[in-house]
């Protein structure tokens, strides 16, 4: 299976477990109800027990009954939908940690590179920062176990643990002749929803709500808006790209920052409700500045609730790519001995009644998570491509192919379609990824690892002793000069395994400059600072900024009761 499938599926599996907003224990015994000529509950239970007896008596090896039972439960749930899931004790513990917006570990962001897992940045105020872990440290051992061939997920799993317990980590550091050993005591590590808050242009704020909807999300957003308004913000780009979702009540809180009190944010329909339950905005003094919401194909669940509410109510523009299309609501049930499961108990709908759930009728999780089906491709190509003129209010372009769901008329008479995710008002593709650019990015990391360690002759001023957190980024910080570029070309000549020829640097000169500066700024000022470098050149973010005047006209038209066409 592809790497894309594994990453997207893992993220949305976790997010799906908390969108119902409740965690509880269901101690009732469930008795299957026969349908038609189906087997009775006693027959089903008897068949299962008999199968286990046959396996236990006749299987050639040892039987792990716990693992077999877990597989049986997950197999049952997988016949229902892609988001009903079983969690082992350790998985369920991690799920609850993610809900709490923190976990116990050492506090580093790590990335998988061609020859191992490396520290990208230590989180401010965490045990890793206090111990002295740095950008570019290659993790080679964890508690005496060889980690050279581990994935980033394996490293993360092994460095997490109980609070107050030590973990021993050995790293290779550029410029050090011998590996370095650290003993780090695990502690609480913050896991905020908002990754970045800054002024991307004079008067224009950017908030990156990209890490899921957790217990602190609403508070974080309020604090970020307050901070940006103190810096003169009058317009906002809210980034929900790659946000896999999370707690329903936090999605309501986020939407309430922008919608008038009492407006519908989302409705929920399920077998436990006689009538649909409507969740309304709680905002007593909502923000009225122009708003653009960014989404992409990995925006799911709670992030789609927010984007759908903003779009349906005409509060702002939605820009980017069609979202994932996850509208199933899970309730979390804790099972005996610490395990748990999530079960789809309802579906949610946008304020004007759109269901945005994509079809999972094929039964293939791979197709579902990688969008390889023909219908998905058609739906993606059907996204509106309207380019608003300065005096026009954007409205979705008619979908040229048969829509996946019924047409729904929303605020101002704008028409959207259900059944295939949130379709943006204006479609904007991300920066094009090519094999050469991937190799350039990897080479830029390997080069910067040496540069930040002071190992590149003639560029010793780029040596970084310690990460400086909270730095206000300036264009003059660590510029990528011609001298740096020439040193990078020389680095490529000495290491042909990187797969980049010096001449190819000139083919991708702007991209090379961008990636080199991203890496050196990450080393100097943390991951969030490095992300700002990329965001300031991001084609989707730049288009979002351009569309803020149109978002203003849209919201004003809706407030004035204008019908759009």
How far does Cα 324 stand from its chain's mean position?
A: 11
Phi, psi of 267 (to 5 degrees): -120, 150
Question: What is the full DSSP assignment across 332-381?
Answer: EEEPGGG-EEEEEEEEEE-TT----PPP-TT--HHHHHHT-SHHHHHHHH
Residue of 14, 419, 8, 397 lying closest to 241 (CA atoms): 8
Using alpha carbons, list the distances in angstroms from residue 207 to 32, 196, 293, 307, 549.
47, 6, 10, 14, 18
CA atoms of 86 and 382, how far apart (whole Å): 35
Do residues 237 and 292 make contact, with C-beta atoms less than 8 angstroms apart? yes
Do residues 291 and 315 make contact, with C-beta atoms less than 8 angstroms apart? yes
Question: What is the full DSSP assignment across 525-565?
Answer: H-HHHHHHHHHTT-HHHHHHHHTHHHHHHHHHHHHTTPPP-
Which tokens sit at 78? 């997988």
Task: Out of 101, 281, 301, 323, pick the active-site residue.
Answer: 301
Phi, psi of 279 (to 5 degrees): -105, 125
CA atoms of 436 and 449, how far apart (whole Å): 20
CA atoms of 304 and 295, how far apart (whole Å): 8
Which tokens sit at 396? 């979705």
Which tokens sit at 142? 């964890």
Do residues 331 and 22 make contact, with C-beta atoms less than 8 angstroms apart? yes
Task: Out of 98, 312, 425, 538, pick the active-site residue.
Answer: 312
Task: Out of 84, 239, 326, 531, pick the active-site residue.
Answer: 326
CA atoms of 548 and 426, how far apart (whole Å): 12
With both helix axes pointing from N to C terminus, report the angle between 509-525 and 527-535 in degrees, rounded to the nearest 10: 150
Q: Has 78 been annotated as catalytic?
A: no
Q: Which residue has the tokens 């923000």?
A: 287
How far does Cα 88 stand from its chain's mean position?
A: 23
Q: Has 326 been annotated as catalytic?
A: yes
Using alpha carbons, list the distances in angstroms from residue 133 to 119, 195, 311, 352.
8, 21, 44, 50
How far does Cα 447 stand from its chain's mean position?
A: 28
Q: Which residue has the tokens 């002749």?
A: 177
CA atoms of 417 and 398, how far apart (whole Å): 10
CA atoms of 346 and 326, how far apart (whole Å): 12
Which tokens sit at 505? 């640097």
Q: Has 385 been annotated as catalytic?
A: no
Bridge-partner residues for 116, per DSSP?
Answer: 113
CA atoms of 302 and 19, how far apart (whole Å): 7
Active-site residue list:
301, 312, 326
């Amino acid at each position: 299976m592809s790497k894309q499938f594994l990453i997207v599926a893992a993220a949305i599996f976790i997010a799906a477990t908390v969108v119902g907003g409740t965690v509880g224990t269901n101690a009732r015994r469930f008795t299957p109800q026969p349908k038609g000529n189906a087997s009775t509950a006693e027959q089903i239970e008897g068949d299962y027990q008999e199968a286990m007896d046959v396996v236990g008596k006749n299987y050639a090896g040892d039987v792990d009954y716990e693992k077999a039972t877990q597989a049986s439960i997950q197999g049952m749930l997988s016949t229902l939908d892609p988001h009903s899931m079983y969690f082992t004790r350790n998985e369920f513990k991690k799920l609850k940690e993610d809900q709490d917006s923190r976990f116990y570990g050492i506090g580093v962001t790590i990335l998988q590179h061609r020859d191992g897992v490396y520290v990208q940045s230590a989180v401010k105020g965490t045990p890793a920062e206090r111990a002295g872990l740095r950008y570019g440290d290659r993790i080679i051992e964890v508690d005496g176990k060889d980690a050279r061939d581990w994935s980033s997920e394996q490293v993360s799993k092994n460095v997490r643990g109980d609070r107050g317990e030590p973990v021993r980590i050995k790293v290779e550091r550029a410029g050090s002749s011998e590996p370095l050993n650290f003993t780090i005591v695990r502690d609480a590590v913050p896991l905020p929803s908002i990754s970045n808050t800054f002024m991307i242009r004079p008067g224009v704020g950017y908030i990156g709500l990209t890490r899921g909807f957790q217990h602190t999300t609403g508070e974080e957003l309020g604090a970020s808006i307050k901070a940006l308004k103190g810096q003169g913000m009058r317009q906002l780009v809210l980034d929900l790209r790659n946000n896999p979702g999370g707690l329903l009540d936090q999605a309501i809180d986020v939407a309430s920052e922008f919608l008038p009190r009492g407006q519908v944010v989302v409705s929920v329909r399920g077998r436990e409700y006689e009538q649909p339950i409507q969740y309304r905005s709680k905002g007593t003094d909502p923000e009225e500045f122009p708003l653009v919401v960014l989404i992409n194909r990995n925006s799911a669940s709670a992030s789609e609730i927010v984007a759908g509410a903003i779009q349906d109510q005409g509060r702002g523009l939605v820009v980017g790519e069609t979202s994932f299309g996850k509208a199933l609501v899970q309730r979390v049930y804790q099972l005996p001995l610490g395990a748990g499961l999530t079960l789809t108990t309802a579906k949610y709908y946008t304020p004007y009644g759109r269901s945005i759930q994509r079809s999972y009728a094929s039964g293939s999780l791979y197709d579902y998570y990688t969008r390889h089906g023909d219908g998905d491709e058609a739906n993606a190509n059907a996204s509106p491509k309207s380019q608003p003129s300065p005096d026009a209010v954007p409205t979705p372009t008619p979908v040229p192919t048969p829509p996946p769901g019924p047409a729904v008329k929303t605020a101002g008479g704008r028409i959207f379609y259900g059944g295939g995710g949130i379709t943006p008002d204006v479609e904007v593709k991300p920066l094009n990824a090519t094999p050469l650019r991937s190799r350039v990015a990897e080479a830029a990391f390997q080069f910067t690892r040496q540069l930040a360690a002071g190992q590149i002759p003639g560029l010793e001023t780029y040596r970084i002793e310690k990460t400086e957190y909270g730095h206000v980024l300036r264009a003059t910080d660590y510029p990528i000069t011609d001298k740096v570029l020439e040193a990078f070309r020389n680095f490529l000549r000495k290491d042909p395994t990187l797969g980049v020829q010096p001449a190819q640097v000139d083919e991708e000169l702007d991209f090379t400059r961008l990636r080199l500066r991203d890496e050196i700024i990450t080393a100097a000022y943390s991951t969030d600072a490095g992300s700002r470098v990329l965001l300031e050149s991001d084609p989707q973010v730049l288009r979002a900024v351009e569309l803020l005047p149109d978002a203003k006209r849209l919201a004003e038209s809706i407030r004035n009761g204008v019908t759009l066409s």
